[in-house]
Amino acid sequence: MVLRIRLARFGNKHSPFYNIVVAQARSARGAKPLEVIGTFNPVPKRPTNLYEENANARPYKEIALDRSRAKYWLGVGAQPSDPVWKLLSMAGLVEKKPATYEKA
Amino acid sequence: MRNRASTSLAKGKIRQSWSKYNLYNLQRFRTPATANRTFFQQKWTAKALSRAYHGEQVREGQWKRMFSKRIRSVIPMSTSDLAADDGSKTSAGRGSGLEKRGRDSVTARLTPYTQMAFAPLERRLDVAIFRSLFASSTRQARQFVIHGAVTVNGHKMRHPSYLLNPGDLFQVDPERVMFATGAPKTKFERRETRQLKQKEEETEGETEQAKSEGAEAKEDKVENAKDTLKALMAQAKTIMSKDKDVLPAKRKQELRGFQKAVRRVLSRSETSTVLTDNLESQFSELTLLLKAKRAEKKPKESKKDKKDSTEETAVAEESEGASDKLSEAFKSAAEGGEVDTSELSDEEFDVLKRALTQMRDNPIDNTKSYATPWRPRDYMSAFSFIPRYLEVNQNICAAVYLRHPVARPGSAEVPTPFGEAVSTPAYGWYLKRRW
Amino acid sequence: MAPRIQSRRVSNALLPYLTSSPSSSSISSIPSLSPSSQCLARQFSATAAPQTKLRRTMFEWLNNEGAALKHHMPGQTNYLRNPRDSNEGGGNRPFPNNPNFISENILSEELRNEIYERVVEKKKSVRAVSVQLGIDMKRIAAVVRLVELERRQRAQGKPLALPYARAVHEMVPTTPLAQDGERQQFHEPINDLPAHPTTGPQIFYPVPESRSFTRVDAGRVFSGAPALEREVAEKITHPSDLAEKAIENPNSIDWVGKGENARQVLQPADVRIPHPQLVKLELDRAAFPEERRKVAQLHAERMERQEKVETERRERAQSRREKSIKHVEPEGGRFDYRFSDAVFTAETTGKDGRAPWAPGRRYGVPTNDRKRGVVKIPTRVEA
pLDDT digits (tens, 9 = 90+) for B345-373: 666 666 666 667 777 788 878 888 999 88
pLDDT at B214: 42
CATH number for the domain that contains residue A38: 3.30.1320.10
Q: Is residue C235 part of a domain?
A: yes
Is there a contact between B412 and C191 if contact means CB atoms under 8 Å apart?
no
Residues B262, B329: one domain?
yes
Residues B401, B321: one domain?
no
> B84 to chain A, minimum CA–CA distance in Å?
45
Q: Is residue C136 part of a domain?
A: yes
Question: C261, C237, C242: which is closest to C253 by C-alpha?
Answer: C242
Tell me which residue in C52, C112, C138 faces B402 most closely, judged by beta carbons.
C138
Between CA B78 and CA C192 the distance in angstroms is 9
Query: What letter does residue C75 receive in the DSSP assignment?
Result: T
pLDDT at A32: 87
Q: Is residue C89 part of a domain?
A: no
Residue C4 burial (CB < 10 Å; 0-12/13-18/19+)? Answer: middle
Chain C residues whose beta carbon lies within 8 Å of the beta carbon of residue A66: 341-344
> B361 to chain A, minimum CA–CA distance in Å?
24
Residues B275, B323: one domain?
yes
Is there a contact between B391 and C52 if contact means CB atoms under 8 Å apart?
no
Q: Best interface-test mutation with C: which of B28, B82, B186, B302 has the largest number of C CBs within 10 A?
A: B82
Residues B25, B62: one domain?
yes
Between CA B413 and CA B115 the distance in angstroms is 8
Residues B36, B141: one domain?
yes
Closest alpha carbon within chain B to C277: B79
CATH number for the domain that contains residue B62: 3.10.290.10
Question: B125, B116, B9: which is closest to B58 by C-alpha?
Answer: B125
Closest alpha carbon within chain B to C27: B248
Of C268 and B343, the one with more pLDDT: C268
Residue C223 structural domain: 218-322
Chain A residues whose beta carbon lies within 8 Å of the beta carbon of residue B155: 46, 48
Inform me whether the C-beta atom of residue C330 falls under 8 Å from chain A C-beta atoms: yes
pLDDT at B304: 37
pLDDT at A102: 67
> A34 to chain B, minimum CA–CA distance in Å?
38
Residues B395, B250: one domain?
no
Domain boundary among C275, C293, C322: C322
Name all chains with 3 or more CB-CB pairs below 8 Å to chain B. A, C
Is there a contact between C344 and A37 if contact means CB atoms under 8 Å apart?
yes
pLDDT at B241: 56
Chain C residues whose beta carbon lies within 8 Å of the beta carbon of residue B153: 381-383
pLDDT at B219: 42
**Helix count (H) and strand count (E) of chain C?**
13, 7
Of C241 and B339, the one with more pLDDT: C241
Vertex C49: Cα angle to C46 and C53 (nearest 5): 140
Q: What's the mean pLDDT when you consider all of chain A?
A: 90
Residues B159, B39: one domain?
yes
Residues B396, B354: one domain?
no
Question: B276, B292, B414, B303: which is closest to B349 by C-alpha?
Answer: B292
Q: Is residue B186 part of a domain?
A: no
Residue B126 burial (CB < 10 Å; 0-12/13-18/19+)? Answer: buried
pLDDT at B47: 95
How many domains does the structure of chain B reveal? Answer: 2
Q: Is residue B59 part of a domain?
A: yes
Inform me whether the C-beta atom of residue A89 falls under 8 Å from chain C C-beta atoms: no
DSSP three-state, residue B272: coil
CB C308 within 8 A of CB A32: no
pLDDT at C11 over 50: no
Is there a contact between A50 and B154 if contact means CB atoms under 8 Å apart?
yes
Tell me which residue in C329, C338, C353 faces A62 most closely, judged by beta carbons.
C338
Q: Residues with Cβ < 8 Å from C372, sequence gap 6 or more? A: none
Closest alpha carbon within chain C to B318: C20
Q: Which residues of C131-147 are buried (b: 16+ CB within 10 A; e: fewer)?
A: bebebbbbbbbbbbbbb
Residues B329, B226: one domain?
yes
CB B17 within 8 A of CB B136: yes
Is there a contact between C103 and B385 if contact means CB atoms under 8 Å apart?
yes
At C19, give phi and psi (nearest 5°): -80, 140
Chain A residues whose beta carbon lies within 8 Å of the beta carbon of residue C149: 50
Residue B248 structural domain: 217-307+315-361
pLDDT at B212 over 60: no
Q: Is residue C191 part of a domain?
A: no
Is there a contact between C149 and B396 if contact means CB atoms under 8 Å apart?
yes
- Per-residue pLDDT band at C104 (split at 50, 70, 90): very high
Q: Which of B302-311, C175-184, C344-353 has the lowest mean pLDDT?
A: B302-311
The tens digit of pLDDT for each residue in B39-82 reads 999 999 999 999 999 999 999 999 999 999 999 999 999 999 99
Please give the C-alpha separations between residue C315 and each of C118, C140, C310, C318, C320, in angstroms, as whole numbers: 22, 21, 9, 5, 8
> A47 to chain B, minimum CA–CA distance in Å?
8
Name all chains with 3 or more CB-CB pairs below 8 Å to chain A. B, C
DSSP three-state, residue C264: strand
Is there a contact between B153 and A49 if contact means CB atoms under 8 Å apart?
no
Residues C247, C165: one domain?
no
> C4 to chain B, minimum CA–CA distance in Å?
8
CB pairs under 8 A between B and C: 346
Handedness of CA C3, C8, C11, C12 (dihedral sign): positive
Residue A22 structural domain: 3-103
Tell me which residue in B75, B177, B399 faces C164 most closely, judged by beta carbons.
B177
Q: Is residue B90 part of a domain?
A: no
Inform me whether the C-beta atom of residue A61 falls under 8 Å from chain C C-beta atoms: yes
pLDDT at B39: 95
Chain C residues whose beta carbon lies within 8 Å of the beta carbon of residue B326: 18
Q: Best interface-test mutation with A: which of C149, C339, C349, C362 has the largest number of A CBs within 10 A?
A: C339
How many domains does the structure of chain C reveal? Answer: 2
Q: Is residue B376 part of a domain?
A: no
C353 backbone φψ class: left, alpha, beta (φ>0; ψ -120 to 50): left
How many domains does the structure of chain A reveal? Answer: 1
- Per-residue pLDDT band at B220 (split at 50, 70, 90): very low
Question: C242, C225, C246, C223: which is closest to B86 by C-alpha?
Answer: C242
Residues B404, B344: one domain?
no
Name all contacts of B32-38 with Cβ < 8 Å and 24+ positions apart: B32/B422, B34/B421
Between CA B392 and CA B405 the distance in angstroms is 15
The tens digit of pLDDT for each residue in A11-61 reads 888 999 999 999 999 999 989 888 889 999 999 998 887 887 777 888 999
The tens digit of pLDDT for each residue in C27-55 reads 333 344 444 444 444 556 666 666 789 99
Domain boundary among C268, C287, C322: C322
Average pLDDT over residues B219-244: 54
Residues B163, B125: one domain?
yes
pLDDT at A53: 79
Tell me which residue in A17, A51, A62 faces C361 most closely, judged by beta carbons.
A17
Average pLDDT over residues C347-354: 74
> A97 to chain B, minimum CA–CA distance in Å?
36
Any bridge partners for residue C327, and if so which? Answer: C338
pLDDT at B13: 92
Q: Is residue C26 part of a domain?
A: no
DSSP three-state, residue C211: coil
Q: Is residue C150 part of a domain?
A: yes
Q: Is residue B5 part of a domain?
A: no
Q: Which of B134-148, B258-272, C115-129 has the lowest mean pLDDT?
A: B258-272
CB B177 within 8 A of CB C161: yes
CA B333 to chain CA centroid, nearest Å = 31
Q: Residues with Cβ < 8 Å from C200, sequence gap 6 or more? A: none
> C350 to chain A, minimum CA–CA distance in Å?
13
Inform me whether the C-beta atom of residue A63 falls under 8 Å from chain C C-beta atoms: yes
pLDDT at C383: 75
> A4 to chain B, minimum CA–CA distance in Å?
38
Residues B278, B427: one domain?
no
